[in-house]
Amino acid sequence: MTGYCDFVQDDGNDAFAGTLTSVSDPSKTDDPPLLVACLCAQWCRTCDAYRDTLAATRDAIRLGHPDRATRYVWVDIEDESDLVGELDIEDFPTLLLARGDEVLFFGPILPHAQTLDRLVRGALDAALPPLDPSVLARDVLALPGRLRAHESV
């Protein structure tokens, strides 16, 4: 399936759907949820395999940080090009970590579970300070808001 998706659980199997599902209960904290957005393309075979990596990391974070609000989003850069704007995503997977409108990380990463897990846990533990907005492209800064605007169907 392509397009803007959040992970949801369906009888224990991971599926993609156009509705928001938080990994943990956002009412337990005043902080906005940590957004973990993977920007990929339908034709990319690395991205196909990375969906399972993202789901496994989500499940591990859920167990390790049940008190932290997180949200995992899959964005197909071609089918949802309006979300990406003028960004030229050339390397996959490209990851966005944001809390509210603050971008904590944006860029391509190696498609390894350990890399993703370390980045997400670092963001949850406040080891990733927000990036300086003056060095980020306008569309990178707008991405968290664009994804938030599409979180409910």
Domain chopping of the chain, boundaries: 5-149
Q: Is the pLDDT of residue 3 over 80?
A: no
For residues 11 and 33, which has the higher predicted lDDT (pLDDT)?
33
Q: Is the pLDDT of residue 152 over 70?
A: no
The CB-side HSE value for 148 (13 A sphere, CA atoms) comes to 16
On whether the CB atoms of residues 98 and 104 are closer than 8 A, the answer is yes
> Can you tell me the mean pLDDT for 51-69?
92
For residues 151 and 125, which has the higher predicted lDDT (pLDDT)?
125
Residue 57 dihedral angles phi and psi, to the nearest 5° = -65, -45
Domain 5-149 architecture? 3-Layer(aba) Sandwich (3.40)
Closest CA to 95 of 104, 82, 105: 105
**In 10 A of CB 44, how many CB atoms?**
16
Contacts of 86 (CB under 8 A, 6+ apart): 137, 139
Q: Is the pLDDT of residue 150 over 60?
A: no
**For the sheet containing 70-76, what is the strand order?**
13-17, 5-10, 70-76, 34-40, 94-99, 102-108
pTM for this prediction: 0.79
For residues 65 and 3, which has the higher predicted lDDT (pLDDT)?
65
Q: How confident is the model at residue 107 (pLDDT cuts 50, 70, 90)?
A: very high
Measure the CA–CA gap between 89 and 76, rounded to whole angstroms. Answer: 11
Q: Is the pLDDT of residue 86 over 70?
A: yes
pLDDT at residue 121, as a whole number = 95
pLDDT at residue 30, as a whole number = 73
On whether the CB atoms of residues 40 and 32 are closer than 8 A, the answer is no
